[in-house]
Chain A
Amino acid sequence: MYEKLAERIAHFSLGVASVCIAVMILLTVADVFMRYVFSAPLAGTGEHTQLLLAVVVFSGLVLVTREGSHIMVSLFEPTLLRVMPKVYNGLRSLAYLLGMLFIVFVLIEVSLEMIEFEEESEVMEYPLVYLGVVMTIFAAFGLFQVWHVTKHGASGHSGEVD
């Protein structure tokens, strides 16, 4: 049950991130085209890019957490895996758990502040709380994937979802 749900979430996250990057590219190319051909740039392209980037980062974090592919120093990894595999894997899993928990907590705080101060984006004046909520949800999805990396280990792309 957990495995299936976690995999679906990872698929969904990859899909969202891919669509966001594609939209970033199309918007920017269209903006350049409109600016040079019709002297009529699209309004708020830079801001849309910024908002989409934040979604890409946190939806990508779901995949990176699932696969345990955060950048790490592997100088002593073979030795530690041989000498104390349980401690080594346990410490890494704990780091993933605490790290993701802290990020989720901070993002909840950020979102609450956005609600309290009714923060808006500068150009398009979008309420930023929606972005905060989306980032928090994806970070929580990432937290949900920690069990996967605990169970399967951080083999880079052990649970790769394409």
Chain B
Amino acid sequence: MLASLTAFAAVLVLSLLGVPLAFSTLFVGGIGILWLRGFDATAGLTGQWILEVSMNYGLSVIPLFILMGAFIHRSKISEDLYEASNAWLGHLKGGLAMATVFACAGFAAVCGSSLATAATMSRVAMPPMRKYGYNDGLSTGTIAAGGTLGIMIPPSVPMVIYAIIVSADIGALFIAGIVPGLMLVSLFILAIAVLVRLRPELGPVGEKITVSERFRRSLGVYPVIGLFVIVLGGIYTGIFTPTESAAVGAFGAYVFAVSRGYMRTLKELAAAFGEAVRTTAMIFTILFCGLVLAQFVNLTGMPFQLVDLVVAEDGGISATTLIIGICIICVIMGMIFESLGILLLVVPVFLPSLEALDVDMIWFGIIIIVVIELGLISPPIGMNVFTVKAVVSDVPLMRIFAGVLPFIAAMLIGLILLFFVPEIATFMPNLMR
């Protein structure tokens, strides 16, 4: 176990010194295997992981969903989503903030990236909230928190990575994310409602419009809803595999973009494809390098020593205690690493223990995603907070962090609910089976 812990410490030090996460895990994992098994085994195992990851059919959803998101967000759909949400909720106290949460959820449903959701919605939602005199802390906090829905509401890249690590069904994990995602949306809206009830000056009422006008303003988002239904409905009903669903989604998103007057020039296409290609390469490099480290950790026997500790006859550890422990580790790691790093460093280590305790890996995956979401808005890193800050530079960082506090509380409530009512996550995937 000492060798594994030393390896994790080395990865941490290298990462903090600016070595990319992919290379720090590759170096430490590679040197570790070299030490245990020699040079040939190091080259052989690394080559095996490179091939397995790069040619993994399940992982082919990643470039396709990223491209789908790139087509959609480059079609300026965010404005339409916001306008539609605002039409239905804007007249309520704090309604513009609630509309922002809905727009974030809608954008997340076709984008799959928390950072892209936060960055895009900062540009779209901030000006109207300022126009109606919304408090900057509430506005930016809402956007940062709403952005986290990007990795919970499918399609979600971290969910794909998690599914590959634990050999779970990607489609089932996507479907499992729907209800918890909607639950978080509801909790965020509840948090806003409570806030403006206590301090009405934070979120004044916006424009009130007729019902027919609300429907008219929602016209622009119907194709996106349709795309979401086709993509997830296809997986849920078994018509498509996740890869097929991603390809159909990307194709549909392209048609949608062209119909709105975008993606008609080579330059626009190259930008969208470039986004997909770069992100794919970054994710896959981290993945195969991270798995080399995971292989080393496996060779040291640490995961199996943990199993012995967990299922020891003279007082093992309960599943609840283990999962709470893992969540605490993830929250601490979330202060330093981003989602992929957490998944690759934590999940393989505890996987045998979780399996030994018969933990439902789909449910656990949703728990981990919520914990990662928490990391996205928690100090000191809180990548979503920094993303919002980068766009809305005149709001002090501390005010944004203060603004996300009610949403952190909402997420913790969501986490507790998920913990005690696992059916929130498992109900829909169980219906699939």
> Is A70 an interface residue when CB atoms closer than 8 A count as contact?
yes
Distance between A41 CB and nearest chain B CB, rounded to angstroms: 11
- Say yes or no: B280 contacts A56, CB within 8 Å: yes
Closest B residue to A81 using CB positions: B18
Which of B23-31, B124-132, B201-209, B300-308 lies on the face that meets chain A?
Answer: B23-31
When the two chains form the complex, which single residue of A25, A60, A160 contacts B251, counting CB atoms closer than 8 Å? A25
- Say yes or no: B22 contacts A49, CB within 8 Å: no
Given contacts A58-B54, A69-B282, A73-B15, contact A63 B274 (CB under 8 A): yes
Tell me the chain A residues, 110-136 only, with Cβ under 8 Å from chain B.
110, 113, 135
- Say yes or no: A64 contacts B281, CB within 8 Å: yes
How long is the Cα–Cα vector from A57 to B44 in the complex, in angstroms? 20
How long is the Cα–Cα vector from A75 to B334 in the complex, in angstroms? 12
- Say yes or no: B51 contacts A110, CB within 8 Å: yes
How long is the Cα–Cα vector from A152 to B19 in the complex, in angstroms? 16
Q: Which residues on the B side are within 8 Å of A73 (C-beta)? A: 15-16, 18, 21, 336-337, 341
- Say yes or no: A162 contacts B248, CB within 8 Å: no
Tell me the chain B residues, 5-23 only, with Cβ under 8 Å from chain A.
14-23
- Between-chain CB contacts (< 8 Å), 10 pairs: A21-B63, A53-B59, A54-B51, A54-B55, A57-B53, A57-B284, A70-B282, A95-B27, A99-B289, A105-B43
- What is the interface size of chain A, counting residues whose CB is below 8 A from a CB of the partner? 57
How long is the Cα–Cα vector from A81 to B51 in the complex, in angstroms? 36
Closest A residue to B281 using CB positions: A60
> Is A40 an interface residue when CB atoms closer than 8 A count as contact?
no
Closest A residue to B286 using CB positions: A71
- Measured CB to CB, the residues of A under 8 A from B are 14, 17-18, 21-22, 24-26, 28-29, 31-32, 36, 46, 49-51, 53-54, 56-61, 63-64, 67, 69-77, 80, 88, 91-92, 95-96, 98-99, 102-103, 105-107, 109-110, 113, 135, 160-162
- Say yes or no: B277 contacts A17, CB within 8 Å: yes
> Is B338 an interface residue when CB atoms closer than 8 A count as contact?
yes
How long is the Cα–Cα vector from A56 to B26 in the complex, in angstroms? 20
Given contacts A54-B54, A71-B20, contact A18 B280 (CB under 8 A): no
Distance between A147 CB and nearest chain B CB, rounded to angstroms: 17
Q: Which residues on the A side are within 8 Å of B111 (C-beta)? A: none
> Is B243 an interface residue when CB atoms closer than 8 A count as contact?
yes
- Say yes or no: A18 contacts B270, CB within 8 Å: yes
- What is the interface size of chain B, counting residues whose CB is below 8 A from a CB of the partner? 61
Distance between A121 CB and nearest chain B CB, rounded to angstroms: 9
How long is the Cα–Cα vector from A72 to B340 in the complex, in angstroms? 11
Distance between B253 CB and nearest chain A CB, rounded to angstroms: 10
Among all A-B residue pairs, the 8 with the closest Cβ atoms: A60-B281, A70-B20, A28-B247, A99-B23, A18-B273, A54-B54, A110-B47, A17-B277
> Is B380 an interface residue when CB atoms closer than 8 A count as contact?
yes
Q: Which residues on the A side are within 8 Å of B27 (C-beta)? A: 95, 98-99
- Say yes or no: B60 contacts A57, CB within 8 Å: no
- Say yes or no: A99 contacts B280, CB within 8 Å: no
Given contacts A54-B54, A88-B17, contact A95 B23 (CB under 8 A): yes
Closest B residue to A142 using CB positions: B281
Closest B residue to A18 using CB positions: B273
How long is the Cα–Cα vector from A46 to B247 in the complex, in angstroms? 12
